Every structure is written in structure tokens, then in C-alpha cells.
């Protein structure tokens, strides 16, 4: 095969261009501190890096959901514990009212205090996290509890203490819950609806307060007031059980958060190994490519021999 000057020049320029491309690649790696500047640099590693980035993005969203859920549960726990304090105070007033030394006026005065506690319960039951009402089930934009004209406390328009309340409506209200996705195919319930919070029928917290108030205002006997006291004690047990349940949910979220924090560190480490450049290695490769390029330029005049045109001059 005969080699011409044109062929030798083309080969020389092609080799020189490849060397310049290598220098450009190393310079890009130095400027970006990344091994993979373009997908074409290493397609297999680039696909792995994209997969890791996708996992990190999902992980960050799950962590945001966990933080939001934790704040919601903390607010719920604060409200539930405050309800417990209200019940304790009402219990103390009821015990005072059951004492045989109190006359009708004394009991009415105690009834006024218990009624104020009942009104405060409505405010606590309408607690919110930001602009979201936390005990409203699926109804989060409006206060779930309201006081009707006759003084009855309703939940989403329903009187939970009414024994004639439609069972289907009660089941629907009980089934309302807010859930957050905290992982792949993993959700957690963060809300307590109003039925869980105050109960229904005779077990309704507001009904228990109303009965106690009525017994005090009507100068009820010690036995009647003691009966209301027993109901208060029962409701306090229910409220403390809710607080325990909330604590368990918060513990689970803490465990998941800790695991995700470790996962994020691991993913970031793998991502760095795939994407980040070793600057010392890049500098060394760049200097070697520059040396080769300079050497190529220096011997270029030897590679490209004089042509016939040069002799005709």
C-alpha cells in the first residue's frame, strides 16, 4: 500500500485532534470536579449515577414527608395532653361538687367553671397545624367542631352524642384519616379524627361534661355527680391511650428518619465515587496529555515530509 503525503497529514491531524479532545476532557473534569461531564463519557456509570440521583430525590421527599408528619403528630400530642389536663381539672371540680358540704349555689358556681372547661375543650379539639385542622379527618380546611345554637357540640355537623345518629354516618366519620407516604409502598397514619378524640354516644366527652354540668346546676346528689366522675375517669383513660398511640407513631417516624439519614449518607458516598473526579489524577493526566500534545507539535514537521511542490520551487 502506497502512503501519500496527504494520508500522513490526515493521520497526523486526526491523532492531534484526539489528543486535544483528551486535554479538553481533563480540563472539563477539573472545571466541574466531575468525572462524568457528558453521558457519552461513560454510559454505564452515567446510568448508575442517574439511578442514584433518582433514589436520592425520592429519599429527600420522604424525609420532607416525615418532618411534616412529625410536626403534625407533635401538635396532636400537645392537644391530646391538654385535653387530659382539662379532664383532670374537671375531675377535681367534680370531686369538690360531690362533697356533701356544698349547697346548691356552690354547685352552680362549680358548674360555671366546668362549663368554661367544656368550652375550652372545643377550642383544643379545633387545634390546627398551620392552616390545617388536625382532628377533622378529611375536613382539614374548616374547624371540625362547632357549638350549635342550643349549645350542642357537633362534629362535621353531626351530634356524636346523639344515640339516634345514623350508624353509617358514624362509620364514615370514623374511617377518615390522613396518611403520608414515607417510603416505597410504605404509608403511615398521622391523624386522629374527631370520633376517636371525643368518642360517640354516651361515651362522648362533651356528653359527659354536659351531664356533669346538668347534675351540678340541678343540685344533683353526690351519687349522681360521682357517676359523672366515673365517666370522666373512663374518658381520661381513653385520652391517655390516644397519647400513647401518638407516642408510638412518633417513635416509628424517628426510627425511619434515622434509617433514611444513614441511607442518604451511603447514597451520597456511592454517587461521589461514580461522579466526582480525583483531582490529583485528573491533573496528572492533563499534564501528560499536554506533554504529548507539545511533543506532537514539535515533531509535526518531521512527520509531514516535503512534497513535490517544495522541490519545484
Could you tell me which residue, 80 or 41, shows the higher pLDDT? 80
What is the pLDDT at residue 71? Answer: 92
Q: Give the whole-angstrom CA distance, residue 289 versus residue 294.
A: 9
Is the pLDDT at 23 greater than 70? The verdict is no
Query: How much is the average pLDDT of 156-173?
Result: 90
What is residue 148's three-state secondary structure? coil
pLDDT above 60: residue 8: yes
**Structural element, H or E, at residue 16:** helix 5-32
Residues 6 or more apart in contact with residue 163 via CB below 8 angstroms: 201, 202
pLDDT for 253: 93
**Cα–Cα distance list, 226 to 85, 134, 210 (Å):** 19, 33, 14
Tell me what pLDDT residue 312 has: 54
Give the single-character DSSP code of 294: H
pLDDT at position 286 is: 65
What is the rounded average pLDDT of the residues 76-102? 91
Q: Work out the mean pLDDT of the chain and round it to a whole number.
A: 83
Map residue 24 onto helix, strand or coil. helix
Q: What is the mean pLDDT of residues 220-232?
A: 90
Indicate whether 292 pLDDT > 90: no
Confirm if 243 and 77 have CB atoms less than 8 A apart: yes
The grid coordinates listed for 311 are 522541490
pLDDT of 112: 93
Please measure the distance between the N-terminal and C-terminal CA atoms of the chain and give it in whole angstroms. 28
CB 92: neighbour CB atoms within 10 A? 11
b/e map 191-207, b = 16+ CB within 10 Å: bbbbbbbbbbeeebbbb
30: pLDDT confidence band, cut at 50, 70 and 90? low
Strand partners, 145: 155
CA 233/CA 9 separation, integer angstroms:
99
Which cell numbers in the block locate residue 308?
A: 513535490
Given a cut of 90, whether residue 90 has pLDDT beyond it is: yes
For residue 76, the model assigns a pLDDT of 93
Average pLDDT over residues 185-213: 91
- Report residue 39's pLDDT band, with 50, 70 and 90 as the boundaries: low
pTM over 0.85: no
Smallest CA-to-CA distance from 165 within 152, 178, 176 is with: 152
Please report, for the chain, the start and end positions of each structural domain, with discontinuous segments joined by +.
50-269
Q: Tell me, what's the pLDDT at 139? A: 86
- 50-269, CATH topology level: f41 fragment of flagellin, N-terminal domain (1.20.1330)
pLDDT at residue 281 in the model? 66
pLDDT at residue number 33: 65
DSSP 232: H
CB–CB of 170/195 below 8 Å? yes
What is the dihedral sign for C-alpha 103, 104, 107, 108?
Answer: negative
Q: What is the spatial distance between Cα 207 and Cα 153, in angstroms, rounded to a whole number?
A: 9
Distances (CA, A) of 10 to 3, 7, 249: 11, 5, 72
Give the pLDDT of residue 50: 77
Give the model's confidence band at 43: pLDDT under 50 very low, under 70 low, under 90 confident, else very high.
low
Would the pLDDT of 4 be above 90? no
Residue in 294, 90, 71 with CA at minimum distance from that of residue 206: 90
Q: How many Å apart are CA 106 and CA 257, to the nearest integer? A: 53
pLDDT one-digit tens code per residue, 243-272: 999 999 999 999 999 999 999 888 888 877
Compute the distance between CA of residue 285 and CA of residue 287 in angstroms, rounded to an integer.
5
Amino acid at each position: 500500500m502506497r502512503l501519500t503525503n496527504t494520508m500522513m497529514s490526515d493521520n497526523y491531524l486526526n491523532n492531534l485532534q484526539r489528543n486535544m479532545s483528551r486535554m479538553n476532557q481533563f480540563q472539563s473534569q477539573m472545571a466541574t470536579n466531575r468525572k462524568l461531564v457528558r453521558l457519552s463519557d461513560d454510559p454505564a456509570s452515567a446510568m448508575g449515577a442517574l439511578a442514584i440521583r433518582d433514589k436520592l430525590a425520592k429519599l429527600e421527599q420522604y424525609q420532607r414527608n416525615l418532618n411534616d408528619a412529625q410536626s403534625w403528630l407533635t401538635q396532636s400530642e400537645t392537644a391530646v395532653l391538654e385535653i387530659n389536663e382539662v379532664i383532670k381539672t374537671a375531675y377535681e371540680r367534680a370531686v369538690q361538687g360531690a362533697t356533701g358540704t356544698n349547697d346548691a349555689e356552690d354547685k352552680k358556681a362549680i358548674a360555671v367553671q366546668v362549663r368554661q372547661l367544656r368550652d375550652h375543650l372545643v377550642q383544643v379539639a379545633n387545634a390546627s397545624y398551620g392552616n390545617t385542622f388536625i382532628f377533622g379527618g378529611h375536613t382539614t380546611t374548616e374547624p371540625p367542631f362547632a357549638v350549635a345554637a342550643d349549645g350542642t357540640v357537633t362534629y362535621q355537623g353531626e351530634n356524636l352524642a346523639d344515640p339516634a345518629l345514623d350508624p353509617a354516618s358514624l362509620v364514615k366519620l370514623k374511617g377518615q384519616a390522613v396518611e403520608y407516604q414515607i417510603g416505597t409502598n410504605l404509608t403511615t397514619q398521622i391523624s386522629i379524627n374527631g370520633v376517636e378524640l371525643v368518642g360517640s354516644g354516651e361515651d362522648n366527652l362533651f356528653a359527659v361534661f354536659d351531664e356533669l354540668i346538668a347534675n351540678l346546676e340541678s343540685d344533683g346528689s353526690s351519687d349522681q355527680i360521682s357517676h359523672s366522675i366515673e365517666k370522666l375517669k373512663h374518658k381520661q383513660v381513653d385520652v391517655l391511650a390516644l397519647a400513647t398511640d401518638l407516642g408510638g407513631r412518633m417513635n416509628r417516624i424517628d426510627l425511619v428518619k434515622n434509617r433514611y439519614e444513614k441511607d442518604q449518607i451511603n447514597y451520597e458516598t456511592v454517587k461521589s465515587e461514580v461522579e466526582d473526579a480525583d483531582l490529583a489524577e485528573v491533573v496528572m493526566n492533563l499534564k501528560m496529555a499536554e506533554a504529548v500534545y507539545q511533543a506532537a507539535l514539535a515533531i509535526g514537521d518531521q512527520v509531514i515530509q516535503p512534497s513535490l511542490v517544495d522541490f519545484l520551487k
